[in-house]
Chain A
Amino acid sequence: MSRTYLPLWITFALVLLMFGAGASQFDGFTSLRVVTNLISDNAFLLVTALGMTLVILSGGIDLSVGSVIALSGVAAALLIGPYQWHPLLAFALIVPCAALFGAGMGALIQYYQLQPFIVTLAGMFLARGVATLLSEESVAIEHPFYDAVAEFGLELPDGGWLGATSLLTIALVLLMLVLTHYSRFGSYVYALGGNSQSAQLMGVPVARTTILLYASSSMLAAMAGIIFSFYTYSGYALSAVGVELDAIAAVVIGGTLLTGGSGFIIGTVLGVLLMGLIQTYINFDGSLSSWWSKIVIGGLLFFFIALQKLLSKDLFSKKWQSKAGGKA
């Protein structure tokens, strides 16, 4: 078993273990319905985490995604409600706008050499601020299109049901899989995360890649916001608070190295599934309180970070170690 894949295998084993634990204790845990619910309940987190994976692979971080989710939800609700736009038209405006927002953050990071952490923190306040400005109250969405989407889906045996949002999420996962692992852009991202200076010298278009990277992260977050609006039939400026932390946690649990340059999209999918399974287990149990999920996820985070440290110590020798310890 190669070392690169070890965190991936451990996450996979934990997913199986968690599923096995649930299946052995509760009737109905093994049904296809639980699995499809797992996907549809975590669809927006998964889509967000896909973009976060890309950003973290490049050695950056994006704290603004939660706010972008809220902003796109509010914008969609307002355009569809008071402004009477067709939802598809509204989405067609929101997603490119989010891409521009992300590109702006990427440009600040690239050209002014500012830290991704603080730039996206400002972006987080900005997006949340704009969302609050648009509407302080929750805006309900009522449109025949939303009803049609809610009814559309794939009927599976055993009570399983893949709704439109789940199908969209699966399509996005496949797209990101190809983009990250089988495209030139993907290899640029990995090169950047490995060492941006070397990448520059090798002829990687660092500036373009960085800007595209943050643009796609914000774009995916906007899509996640749209998916989120299909759950709640509304847009609310204070929704999705802290989703950025869940997304980062999922990426780390999925085995992606936080210093960049190593990780897999499929790991992130497993990370989100594992976090979702923990929540499902707690729901099935009924006696465990929801705060346990936070504690368990914190513990898992610690475990995977320590594991990464252990593995990378041997992989990159001491030089890397001191670099990682030094700067935020």
Chain B
Amino acid sequence: MTNETTVLNSTQSDQLKAARQARYSPGQSVHQFSLYLYPLLALALLLLVNLLLDPQFFSLQWQDGRLYGPLIDIVNRSAPVALLAIGMSLVIATGGIDLSVGAVMAICGAVCANLLVLGDWSIPAVIGLAVLTGLGCGLLNGFMVSYLGIQPIVATLVLMVAGRGVAQLLNQGQIVTFQNPDFAALGSGSFLALPVPVWLVLLALLMMQLLLRRTALGLFIEAVGCNAKASRYLGIDDRGIKLTVYLLAGGCAALAGIIATADIQGSDANNAGLWLELDAILAVVIGGAALTGGRFSLPRAVIGVLIIQALSTTIVVSGLPSKFNLLIKALVILLVLMLQSELFRNQLKTLFSFGKLRGGKA
């Protein structure tokens, strides 16, 4: 506990300190509850809007041992981004960012498709190799950030630019398709009434949550994100921690790539995972993490993903043309960003408490 307090003292914000203590000391779950309140409220509101627009929205059908319905669609479609967001949360918690996850998805998808086309590989081997490829990409990113000390945006930009080229090289510029029902089941099959991707996300979430919150790793990640130097003086291997989070992000991206490839039964190097890194970053920010690092919550990041997906669905259900999609998304990002700024929150407070209009930017 003393170690923890020292790390926290190095950050100026008392608020952050309180939040941290609330999380690690039992009996103060009220604060933690309020952290979940707003994202969940936003999600509930979105779903409610959908229900008003379409009374059938919450209906679920049982067909061939599997549930179907708009809600299941939302959860299923969020699966790849949810996996990316889990990895991205950790990277952002250390104050970094990983722009390469979309390209890593494309590379891993290309690896899967090509191995399956070759034919003499078993499915566990294909999955294993794809995950190893993802981990390798993460290792490269992590090495550049932690041991070469390169800014995360730039270090991961390298792989973002080159990665798609590598994927195209593997595919020889073609869209490689394969026929393998067993592998395709990973993307479109179902297990115990729910689609397989949803189970994979839940599994990944559970494993990561256990790894991070039942060991000191999660605490270390947040400490490094708060102040890398201070945590080094405390004996935390800050470089090793950074390397680990990029490694995990690479592994998550590989899983997302496998799901996406299995879903379409092919690998399209140009479009697989295109711009999904931005969705993942957005989801993490909506989940309440600061881009400056120091805190993370995997369940909230997943809620963020669901919010984004529900928003897209709302736009479709409401009958607005899909061209509004990007614009509305941009406005939501701006709103979330502004709410994160202390100045804006104070301005809002003055606005509401005194009813005094204090517009203007400064």
Contact = CB atoms under 8 A, between A and B. Distances in A.
B145 interface: yes
Given A125-B326, A326-B95, A326-B228, A295 B151 contact: no
Interface of B: 95-97, 144-146, 148-155, 157-166, 168-169, 172-173, 228-229, 269, 278, 281-282, 285, 291-293, 323-331, 333-334, 337-338, 340-341, 343-344, 361-362
> What 10 pairs between A and B have smallest CB-CB spacing?
A298-B162, A294-B165, A129-B327, A129-B326, A125-B330, A291-B168, A126-B330, A295-B165, A112-B341, A325-B149
Contacts of A322: 149, 228-229
A292 B292 CA distance: 35
A117 B291 contact: yes
Contacts of B166: 295
Q: Which secondary structure dominates chain A's binding surface?
A: helix
Interface of A: 61, 107-108, 111-115, 117-119, 121-123, 125-126, 128-130, 132-133, 136, 207, 245, 248-249, 252, 258-259, 289, 291-295, 297-299, 301-302, 305-306, 309, 321-322, 324-328
Contacts of A309: 148-150
Nearest to B324: A133
Contacts of B285: 118
A115 B291 contact: yes
B329 A129 contact: yes
Given A126-B330, A249-B161, A309-B150, 20 more contacts: A112-B341, A112-B344, A114-B341, A117-B97, A117-B153, A118-B281, A118-B337, A121-B282, A121-B333, A129-B323, A132-B325, A133-B323, A258-B154, A299-B162, A305-B158, A309-B148, A324-B149, A325-B146, A326-B229, A328-B151
Contacts of A123: 330
Contacts, number: 154
A245 to B, nearest CB: 6
Nearest to A312: B149
B324 A327 contact: no
Nearest to B155: A305
Nearest to B361: A111
Given A125-B333, A309-B148, A321-B149, A118 B291 contact: yes
A245 B337 contact: no
A237 B168 CA distance: 25
Contacts of A328: 95-97, 151-153, 291
